[in-house]
Amino acid sequence: MDRKDYGTINGKKPEWLFEEYCDIDVERLQKDLETMYEHLPWVDWQDADDSDSEVALAWKEATDTRVEERYKGTTRGKRARIREILWHHRVDSYYQEIKEQYKLIGGTYARMEPRSSYAWHTDKCIGFQIPVISNEHCSFIFELDDNVAYAFKPKPGKGYLVNNFVRHTFINGGDVPRYYLLQILNPKALLDPEYKPFVRSSGFPYREYILSRDYV
């Protein structure tokens, strides 16, 4: 696995930003997403009101093994439907295969509206992002300093390791929504032989990262 060479920008070489890490069968993920959509109409968790907040939360944390604790206050019928869909995505889905193979934790299906962007932010983790349905006008953007940014376009069919410690945003400049899966790489996975080439090529301070997180 070759280290990405970003060149020198304003005399400063950027730290590791992302890695196109693996191939993903995106058609299987799209089928999983379609199955969920048929049984659980999409509700954006950021815009949900009290009447649909439980459904929105199900979309937000559709792959989270801790999620059932958060549905104790729901009605019996809605809770049963949510549990059925969550169970499928924890046990039978292609996503579960990906999660186990690459040692991921958490997990969120997300949708980004056309012609929209996120505020600049950081997340204290190595992210694992998989575009499920996207378009050519979508870009992940890192802020390198006050005057310089670096952008790349994630492609469906690929899984990306992303340095979320670097200030970043995302833009969907297309005319259609973007659907994707967001996960976190288990810090202790960096001790596994699977990730040794990545650790060596990226220069990421994995020991400090492992000590700073406690997901396991």
Mean pLDDT of the chain: 76
Please report, for the chain, the start and end positions of each structural domain, with discontinuous segments joined by +. 18-211
Q: What is the pLDDT of residue 23?
A: 96
Q: Is the pLDDT of residue 59 over 80?
A: no
Q: Is the pLDDT of residue 24 over 70?
A: yes
CATH class of 18-211: mainly beta
> Which residue would you say has higher pLDDT here, 105 or 60?
105
pTM above 0.85, yes or no: no
Q: What is the pLDDT of residue 129?
A: 94
Tens of pLDDT, residue by residue over 72-119, are: 555 555 556 666 666 565 656 788 889 889 998 877 777 788 999 989
Q: What is the pLDDT of residue 28?
A: 92
Query: Could you tell me which residues come within 8 angstroms of residue 86 by beta carbon, excluding any fewer than 6 positions away?
Result: 58, 62, 67, 68
Structure tokens at 67: 């999620």
Q: What is the pLDDT of residue 58?
A: 57
Q: What is the pLDDT of residue 2?
A: 39
